[in-house]
Amino acid sequence: MTIPRVRFAPSPTGQLHLGGARTALSNYLYAKNQGGKFLIRIEDTDLERSKKEYIDQICDSLKWLGLKWDDEIVYQSDNKSLYNHWIEKILETKKAYRCFASKDELDSYRNKKGSLHYPGIWRDRSTSDVNKQLEKGTPFTIRIKTPITGETKFTDLIYGEIIISNTEIDDFILVRSDGTPVYNFTNVIDDYNMKITNVIRGEDHISNTSKQILIYDILGFKKPEFAHLPMILGEDQKRLSKRHGATGVNEYRKMGYQSSALINYLAFLGWSPGSEEEIFDLNQLVDKFDLSKVQKKSAIFDSKKLNWISSRHLLISSNMSILKSLKRLDVSWGEKKKQDCYLKIIELLKPRSNTFIELIEKSDYFFNDPKQLDNSIKIKIWKSDTSKIINTLISALEKIENWESIELETNVKEFIKNNGLGFGSVLKPIRFAICGVLDGPSLFEIMEILNKDSVIRRLNKAILEFK
Ligand code: GLU
């Protein structure tokens, strides 16, 4: 049995986007599920647009996502002699030819015919015609001799049989006049050279695949299997782009999503294991992944679903691992209180947060007094007798020696009952005064973490402010 070998082949002309990450992930899941190899090839032949910093960013994002690749990364820029070898070979087959037509000449043909298809000017020229131009040093491109009749077909693992009439494919360029081979050519040579068994990439490459099939056939290479993944669209059904908000993996990392959550969500774009359960880590996804279950329909990127998945991942993460990640995101986190306190804050806030950043933002009142108490809330909950009640409560709180949530709860509730008050009329103002908001985890747990001094200080501050 051949061991599957797949590759992710990004062009380093930008950071890793969600679409690229989903392609990389599908390749990874397929390879690992089948006991195969997941390889990386950097398609950096476009010297002007390719940048080293993008290569670093892409690799960083892949590492962060946990998509560990096998073997050394292949760089197309290192493969010039390999391409030259196959350029010679393809010319020898006579199924590719040199075209000496100038740009102006081609433009005037195209204008006359009103079609962008190459008109075949140099397709069947005699050897002596060609040699004359070579002697003159006329620049030339190398074009493929696409069969004039018939069809080019392949069976896509997701889209089924794809058939293109050869009349729709012109004699496209394999090598530019500056001697550099084009994407469709280098892609085939490298896939062959790297012994790739399955090409898994975005649906936008289907038309390239038809052209590549012609090259495989001319060179007599065994073709890999092809699987094209459905596009990712924004909620407006348009192709996912910056207009829809963040699209870079690194942006999601900065927004405080865990890689496990992003991976989980991306895996579900156009695929599902067919079970009710939707929360999986990378290893579980490897076990479940099945390319044949990928749907053809474009997938819609739904940030609400991502947030839901992210919140579930947060819930199952250990407090210690969350603490480590939070410290990496915010250097001041972990410095102001004892570690135990931080772990308790995490325990309280993780069921209420979608991301690390949200958790950090929600934790603000554990470290800082609320800045300005919102007057619209105050009007609703701070009645004419509230300051007096809170004042008496402060005296009761001052007497508590064992400042723990259970003790606090017993005392505050007794205070409410003994004074014949309603729970809401006391608990809401306390929460508002110490947190600045009306929602959140257990008030008594918050009070315990905040400690006696801060709670009393904040209650007094509110009384003063609302006098
Ligand atoms: N460099 C191409 C891209 O980034 C690779 C396509 C492929 O996987 O063959 O779209």
Is pLDDT at 302 greater than 90 in this prediction?
yes
Task: Please work out whether the CB of residue 207 comes within 6 Å of at least one atom of ligand 1.
Answer: no
Range of the domain at 321: 317-367
pLDDT at 334: 79
Is pLDDT at 24 greater than 80 in this prediction?
yes
Task: Please work out whether the CB of residue 10 comes within 6 Å of at least one atom of ligand 1.
Answer: yes
Residue-wise burial string across 321-344, b where 16 or more C-beta atoms lie within 10 A, e elsewhere: ebbebbeebbeebbeebeeebbeb
Backbone φ and ψ for 120, nearest 5 degrees, come out as: 75, 20
Query: In terms of domains, do 85 and 225 share one?
Result: yes
Average pLDDT, the chain: 95
pLDDT in tens, 80-126: 999 999 999 999 999 999 999 999 999 888 888 778 889 899 999 99
Q: What CA–CA distance (Å, rounded) separates 315 from 459?
A: 32
In the chain, DSSP finds a helix count (H) and a strand count (E) of 21, 12
pLDDT in tens, 334-351: 788 889 999 999 999 999
CA of 11 to the centre of ligand 1 (A): 7
Domain-embedded: residue 446: yes
Task: Please work out whether the CB of residue 208 comes within 6 Å of at least one atom of ligand 1.
Answer: no
Per the structure, the count of domains in the chain is: 3
Task: Please work out whether the CB of residue 448 comes within 6 Å of at least one atom of ligand 1.
Answer: no
Of 184, 214, 229, which residue constitutes the final position of a domain?
229
Measured by CA distance, the residue closest to atom 4 of ligand 1 is 10
CA of 345 to the centre of ligand 1 (A): 45
**Ligand 1 atom nearest to CA at 43:** 1
Query: In terms of domains, do 115 and 169 share one?
Result: yes
Which whole number is the average pLDDT over 26-30? 98
**Ligand 1 atom nearest to CA at 20:** 4
Of 229, 249, 270, which residue constitutes the final position of a domain?
229
CATH code of the domain containing 108: 3.40.50.620
Query: In terms of domains, do 331 and 394 share one?
Result: no
CA of 425 to the centre of ligand 1 (A): 63
**Ligand 1 atom nearest to CA at 200:** 8
Is pLDDT at 250 greater than 90 in this prediction?
yes
Which of 41, 205, 225 has the most ligand 1 atoms within 8 A of CB, as the residue to mutate?
205
Which of residues 245 and 143 earns the better pLDDT score? 143
pLDDT in tens, 323-337: 999 999 988 887 888
Which whole number is the average pLDDT over 222-228? 98
pLDDT at 332: 85
Domain-embedded: residue 380: yes
CA of 24 to the centre of ligand 1 (A): 11
Give the pLDDT band of residue 251 (cuts 50, 70, 90). Answer: very high
Query: In terms of domains, do 89 and 219 share one?
Result: yes
Which whole number is the average pLDDT over 228-239? 93
Query: In terms of domains, do 102 and 214 share one?
Result: yes
Measured by CA distance, the residue closest to atom 10 of ligand 1 is 10
Domain-embedded: residue 323: yes
Tokens of 332: 């001041």
pLDDT at 208: 97
Q: Interhelix angle for 259-267 vs 18-33, to 10°?
A: 80
Which alpha helices (H) appear in 166-239, and where do they start and end?
183-193, 206-219
Task: Please work out whether the CB of residue 9 comes within 6 Å of at least one atom of ligand 1.
Answer: yes
Give the pLDDT band of residue 164 (cuts 50, 70, 90). Answer: very high
**142 forms bridges with which residues in the sheet?**
98, 175
Task: Please work out whether the CB of residue 205 comes within 6 Å of at least one atom of ligand 1.
Answer: yes
pLDDT at 47: 86
CA of 452 to the centre of ligand 1 (A): 60
Query: In terms of domains, do 219 and 343 share one?
Result: no
Is pLDDT at 370 greater than 90 in this prediction?
yes
Domain-embedded: residue 418: yes
CA of 147 to the centre of ligand 1 (A): 25
CATH code of the domain containing 395: 1.10.10.350
Which of 201, 212, 231, 239 has the most ligand 1 atoms within 8 A of CB, as the residue to mutate?
201
Query: In terms of domains, do 399 and 420 share one?
Result: yes
CA of 75 to the centre of ligand 1 (A): 13
CA of 467 to the centre of ligand 1 (A): 67
Domain-embedded: residue 55: no
pLDDT at 330: 87
pLDDT at 69: 98
**Ligand 1 atom nearest to CA at 187:** 9
Which whole number is the average pLDDT over 176-190? 97
Of 367, 388, 408, which residue constitutes the final position of a domain?
367
Domain-embedded: residue 332: yes
Domain-embedded: residue 23: no
**Lowest mean per-residue pLDDT among 17-31, 101-115, 285-299:** 101-115
**Lowest mean per-residue pLDDT among 85-94, 127-136, 233-242, 305-314:** 233-242
Task: Please work out whether the CB of residue 43 comes within 6 Å of at least one atom of ligand 1.
Answer: yes
Which is it for strands 173-175 and 141-144: parallel, antiparallel or unpaired?
antiparallel
Q: What CA–CA distance (Å, rounded) separates 140 from 155?
A: 34
Query: In terms of domains, do 426 and 353 share one?
Result: no
pLDDT at 336: 81
Query: In terms of domains, do 325 and 454 share one?
Result: no
**Lowest mean per-residue pLDDT among 44-48, 260-264, 301-305, 419-423:** 44-48
Which H/E stretch holds residue 427?
A: helix 423-435
Quick one: DSSP state of residue 17? B
Task: Please work out whether the CB of residue 201 comes within 6 Å of at least one atom of ligand 1.
Answer: yes
Query: In terms of domains, do 153 and 92 share one?
Result: yes
CA of 76 to the centre of ligand 1 (A): 12
pLDDT in tens, 45-69: 988 899 999 999 999 999 999 999 9
pLDDT at 200: 98
**164 forms bridges with which residues in the sheet?**
152
| Coil, helix or strand at residue 141 | strand
Query: In terms of domains, do 89 and 197 share one?
Result: yes
Task: Please work out whether the CB of residue 143 comes within 6 Å of at least one atom of ligand 1.
Answer: no
- By percentage, how much of the chain surpasses pLDDT 70? 100
**Lowest mean per-residue pLDDT among 265-269, 272-276, 394-398:** 272-276
CA of 201 to the centre of ligand 1 (A): 7
Measured by CA distance, the residue closest to atom 5 of ligand 1 is 9
Q: Please choose, from the candidates 187, 292, 209, 204, the residue with its C-alpha nearest in 3D space to the C-alpha of residue 20.
A: 204
Query: In terms of domains, do 449 and 384 share one?
Result: yes
Domain-embedded: residue 252: no
pLDDT at 112: 83
